[in-house]
């Protein structure tokens, strides 16, 4: 399971996009942003920065990271920067309930 805290420890690191249109295409994890959510939900996004070209289309990509291994993430281009493009992967799920002890 993808956990927000594991990604928070990887801010600034690079993820290789295995199925990108060119070899050695990398994205840098710029931020892990917690979003407003109902009490029973966890909502957060991963913000990546990539080069200006080629621009990745919105879809699932296979990302490889030295600590996290291989991940399939749905990336959406969300904006242009002076030297690249920002991408977002958004997670929205119900929090797991703690087991009640007897």
Model confidence pLDDT, tens digit, residues 38-76: 888 888 999 999 999 889 999 999 999 999 999 999 999
Q: What sign does the dihedral 8-94-65-15 (CA atoms) show?
A: negative
Domains of the chain: 4-94 (2.40.30)
Whether 46 and 77 have beta carbons less than 8 Å apart is answered as no
Whether 42 and 22 have beta carbons less than 8 Å apart is answered as no
* pTM for the predicted model, two decimal places: 0.85
Structure tokens, 86: 């920002």
Q: Please choose, from the candidates 101, 94, 99, the residue with its C-alpha nearest in 3D space to the C-alpha of residue 37.
A: 94
Q: Taking 70 as the threshold, does the pLDDT of residue 99 lie above it?
A: no
């Amino acid at each position: 399971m993808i956990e927000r805290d594991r990604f928070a420890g990887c801010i600034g690191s690079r993820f290789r996009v295995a199925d990108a249109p060119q070899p050695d295409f990398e994205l840098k994890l710029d931020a892990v942003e917690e979003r407003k959510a109902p009490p029973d939900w966890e909502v957060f996004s991963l913000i990546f920065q990539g080069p200006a070209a080629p621009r990745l289309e919105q879809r699932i990509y296979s990302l490889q990271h030295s600590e996290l291994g291989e991940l399939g993430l749905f990336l959406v281009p969300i904006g242009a920067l002076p030297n690249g493009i920002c991408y977002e992967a958004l997670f929205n799920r119900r929090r797991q309930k703690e087991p009640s002890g007897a």
